[in-house]
Structure 1
Amino acid sequence: MRPRLPIRRILFLRPFRPPNGPRPFTQNTLTSRPQLPFLSPSSRRQTARFLTTERKQWIKNEFWLAGKYTAVLWVGSGLLLVLAFGVQQEWLDRKFPSPSEWSWVTRKDFRSAKWNEDHEGPNEGLVDWARAGEAYRRLLRRLEDPNIDGAGLEDQEDGGILVAGIGKTGFDISKKPEPWRRGYYEILMGAARAAEHLDDWVRDKTRNIAFPANVVIGPSNPNPRPVPPRAASAPREEDCEPAFEGPETYYMRVLTTNGFTEKQRVDAALAYGAWLEFKKTPETALEMYKWALDIATSSSTSSKPIVNTTTGILDPTAGIPSSNVLSAVTALATHHAVHSDLSTALPIFLSILRARKSLPEQPVTMHSTLNPDEEMPGFWKGAMNIVHTLMVPPPYPPPPDDGTTPPTRSPKERCEEAGIMTYIGEILYASKQTKTSREDGLAWTREAVDVAEEQLRKKGVDREGKTTCKECLQVGLANWKTMVSQMAKEEKETNSQRGGGWLGFGGESQKDVAGRWEREEQVIVERQRRAQDILAAPSPAPPSSSYLRV
Structure 2
Amino acid sequence: MRPRLPVRRILLLRPLRPPNSPRLFTQNTLLSNSRPQLPFLTSPNRHPIVRFLTTERREWIKDEVWKAGRYTVYFWTGWFLLFVMSFGVQQEWLERKFPSPREWSWWTRKEYRSARWTEDHDGELRDLVNWPVAAYYYQYLLSRLEDPNLDGPGLKDQVEGGILVAGVGKTGYDISMKSEPWRRGYYEVVMGAARAAEHLDGWVKDTTRGMSFPASVVIGPSNPDPRPVPPGAPSPPREEDCEPAFAPPEVFYMRALTTEGFTEKQRLDAALAYATWLEYKGTTDAASAMYKWALDIASSSSAKGLVDTTTGVLNPNVGTPSSNLLSATTAFAVHHATNNNLSKALPIFVSILRARRSLQDVPTTMRSTLIPDDENDGIMKTITSIVRSALVPPEYPAPPDDGTTAPLRGPKERCEEAATMTYIGEILYASKQSQTSREDGLAWTREAVDIAEEELRRKGVDKEAKNTCRQCLEVGLGNWMTMVNKMAKAERESKATNTGSWLGFGSDQKDAIGRWESEEQVIKERMRRAGELLASSTPSGGSSSFLTV
TM normalised by structure 2 equals 0.87
Distance 2:511 2:66 in 1: 92
Q: Is the 8 A contact 1:306 1:319 kept in 2?
A: yes
Q: Structure 2 residue aligned with 1:189, among 191, 195, 202?
A: 191
Look up the match of 2:207: 205
What SS is found at the alignment partner of 1:273? helix
For residues 53-452 of structure 1, what are the structure 2 equivalents within 5 Å? 53-120=55-122, 125-300=127-302, 302=303, 304-369=304-369, 377-452=377-452
Matched residues in 2 for 1:46 and 1:134: separation? 72
The one-character-per-residue Cα deviations of 1:38-72 (angstroms, maximum 9, x if unpaired) are: 779xxxx9865432222211111111111111111
Cα distance in 2 between the residues matched to 1:165 and 1:66: 64
Shift of 1:36: 3.0
Give the counterpart letter for 1:525 in structure 2.
K
Q: Pairwise mapping of residues 498-509 of structure 1 onto structure 2 (< 5 A)?
A: 498-500=498-500, 504-507=504-507, 509=508
* 237-246 or 415-424, which deviates more: 237-246
How far apart are 1:122 and its partner, in Å?
A: 12
> How far apart are 1:141 and its partner, in Å?
0.4
**Native 8 Å contact 1:371 1:460 kept in 2:** no
In the superposition, relative to structure 1, how do residues 266 and 387 fare at CA in structure 2: closer, same or farther (>3 Å)? same
2:517 corresponds to 1:515: no
Which residue in 2 is equivalent to 1:474?
A: 474
**Local SS of the residue matching 1:334:** helix
Residue type at the aligned position of 2:332? L
Distance in 2 between the 1:480 and 1:254 partners?
39
Deviation of the 1:310 alpha carbon:
3.5
Aligned residue for 1:317, secondary structure, equals coil
SS in 1 for 2:301: coil
Percent identity among equivalent residues?
67
Aligned-residue RMSD, C-alpha: 2.4
Q: Deviations over 1:68-91 (max 9, x none)?
A: 111111111111111111111000
The residue aligned with 1:490 is 490
> Aligned pair in 2 of structure 1 residues 432, 196: CA closer, same or farther (>3 Å)?
same
- CA distance change for structure 1 residues 474 and 38 in 2, over 3 Å: closer, same or farther? farther
CA contact (8 A) 2:305 2:315 kept: yes
Whether the 8 Å CA contact 2:206–2:241 is kept in 1: the answer is yes
> What amino acid sits opposite 1:69 in the alignment?
Y
Are residues 121 and 383 of structure 1, via their aligned partners in 2, closer, same or farther at CA, if it must alter by over 3 Å? farther
CA drift of 1:504 comes to 2.9
Distance between the aligned counterparts of 1:122 and 1:476, measured in 2? 22
Alignment partners' CA distance in 2, 1:383 and 1:37: 92
Higher relative contact order (CA 8 A, sep 6+): 1
| 1:116–1:123 contact (8 Å) kept in structure 2 | no
Partner Cα distance (2:350, 2:37) in 1? 127
Alpha-carbon distance between aligned partners in 2 of 1:255 and 1:484, rounded to the nearest angstrom: 44
Deviations 1:370-401 (A, max 9, x none): 799x9775333222111100011111110011
SS at match of 2:213: strand
Number of the residue aligned with 1:530: 529
Instruction: Classify the secondary structure of the residue corresponding to 1:159.
Output: coil
8 Å Cα contact 2:296/2:309 also seen in 1: no
What letter corresponds to residue 429 of structure 2 in structure 1? Y
Q: CA deviation at 1:434?
A: 0.7
Change (3 A) 1:164 1:202: same
Distance 1:347 1:195 in 2: 35
- In the TM superposition, what is the alpha-carbon distance from 1:236 to its structure 2 partner? 1.2
Q: How does 1:13-28 map to 2 (within 5 A)?
A: none
Q: Is the 8 A contact 1:276 1:285 kept in 2?
A: yes
Distance of aligned partners of 1:511 and 1:53 in 2 relative to their CA distance in 1, 3 Å threshold: farther
Match of 2:33 in 1: none
Aligned to 1:17: none
Against the structure 1 CA distance between its residues 309 and 35, is the aligned structure 2 distance closer, same or farther, given a 3 Å change threshold?
closer
User: Aligned equivalents of 1:445 and 1:354: distance in 2?
Assistant: 17
- Which letter maps to 2:324? N
Q: Following the alignment from structure 1 to structure 2, what is the Cα–Cα distance between the partners of residues 119 and 325? A: 30
Give the SS at the match of 1:536.
coil
Tell me if structure 1 keeps the 8 A contact 2:298–2:325.
yes
Q: Distance in 1 between matches of 2:76 and 2:39?
A: 57
Do the aligned partners of residues 203 and 370 (structure 1) sit closer, same or farther apart at CA in structure 2, a change above 3 Å counting?
farther
Secondary structure at the aligned position of 2:128 is classed as: coil
Alignment check: 8 A CA contact 2:295 2:312 kept: no
Q: Deviations over 1:293-342 (max 9, x none)?
A: 11111112x3x400123432110100000011111111111111111111
- 1:142 offset after TM fit, Å? 0.4
In the TM superposition, what is the alpha-carbon distance from 1:474 to its structure 2 partner?
A: 1.2
Letter in 1 for 2:245: A
SS of the residue corresponding to residue 318 of structure 1 reads coil
Q: What is the letter of the counterpart of residue 107 of structure 2?
A: V
Distance (Å, rounded) in 2 between the aligned partners of 1:391 and 1:478: 48
Higher alpha-carbon deviation: 62-71 or 122-131:
122-131
Matched AA of 2:220: G
**How many aligned positions are there?**
499
